[in-house]
């Protein structure tokens, strides 16, 4: 498999910018790391990663032949996603660092479900394929391979957000109310961007 230089550069740039910019998954991962740390946040992180790979596989399938089915679903998911993001905003604002010695962990299911209503990664995956890949490769195997590459880059991006959450954990514990409000506002911007694209 080989993309020409300019196409490969454009595809790589698009993937990196989309993966590393703030989105619901990255912001939730950052907030979870500052609240719970790596060990207790791990279930949620792995839920985000698993959801990312499955959603990207669904994007490959939709581009391969199910686009008529997926478009109406995406329209509904936009509102479901915004509703879920608003719910996460409220949870983040109300959250506080667990007590010292607490064994409370973040939920795998919460991270997994977020990716299924995270319209950003659907649009990311479908746009990347239709704009850069489909003109050169049309087989289902090729589409899935490129989507797994996208999911891998997305996972690395989320791990970067997790890393920075760990670096600022002490600061977060001292200023968690302000940081929770800022995180919630960033999530609110994600929800607003979803709804504003009508």
DSSP class of residue 23?
Answer: -
Environment class of 164 (CB within 10 Å of its CB; exposed 0-12, middle 13-18, buried 19+): middle
Condensed to tens digits (0 to 9), the pLDDT of residues 18-55 reads: 788 778 898 889 888 988 889 999 999 999 999 999 99
| Mean per-residue pLDDT over the chain, rounded | 82
Task: Please give the torsion angle defined by the CA atoms of residues 118, 128, 55 and 192, in that order, rounded to the nearest 10 degrees.
Answer: 10
Q: What is the pLDDT at residue 38?
A: 92
Tokens of 57: 């596989």
Contact 67, 134 (CB under 8 A): no
> For residues 57 and 120, is the Cβ–Cβ distance under 8 A?
no
Helix, strand or coil for residue 65? helix
> How much is the pLDDT for 193?
67
- Are 81 and 87 spatial neighbours (Cβ–Cβ below 8 Å)? no
Q: What is the pLDDT of residues 138-194, one digit of tens each?
A: 889 999 999 999 999 999 999 999 998 888 878 877 887 887 888 788 777 767 766
CA atoms of 135 and 181, how far apart (whole Å):
44
The C-alpha atoms of residue 112 and residue 162 are separated, in whole angstroms, by: 16
């Amino acid at each position: 498999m080989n993309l020409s230089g300019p196409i490969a550069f454009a595809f790589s740039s698009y993937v990196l910018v989309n993966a590393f910019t703030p989105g619901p998954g990255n912001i939730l991962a950052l907030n979870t790391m500052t609240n719970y740390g790596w060990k207790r946040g791990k279930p949620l992180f792995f839920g985000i990663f698993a959801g990312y790979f499955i959603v990207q596989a669904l994007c490959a399938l939709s581009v391969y032949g199910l686009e008529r089915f997926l478009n109406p679903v995406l329209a509904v998911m936009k509102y479901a996603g915004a509703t879920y993001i608003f719910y996460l905003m409220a949870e983040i604002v109300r959250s506080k660092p667990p007590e010292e010695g607490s064994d409370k962990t973040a939920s795998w299911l919460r991270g997994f479900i977020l990716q299924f209503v995270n319209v950003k990664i659907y649009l990311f995956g479908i746009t990347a394929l239709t704009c850069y890949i489909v003109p050169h490769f049309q087989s289902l195997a090729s589409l899935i391979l490129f989507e797994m590459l996208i999911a891998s880059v997305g996972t690395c991006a989320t791990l970067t957000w997790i890393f920075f959450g760990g670096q600022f954990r002490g600061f977060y514990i001292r200023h968690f109310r302000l940081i929770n409000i800022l995180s919630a506002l960033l999530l609110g911007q994600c929800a607003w961007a979803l709804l504003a694209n009508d």
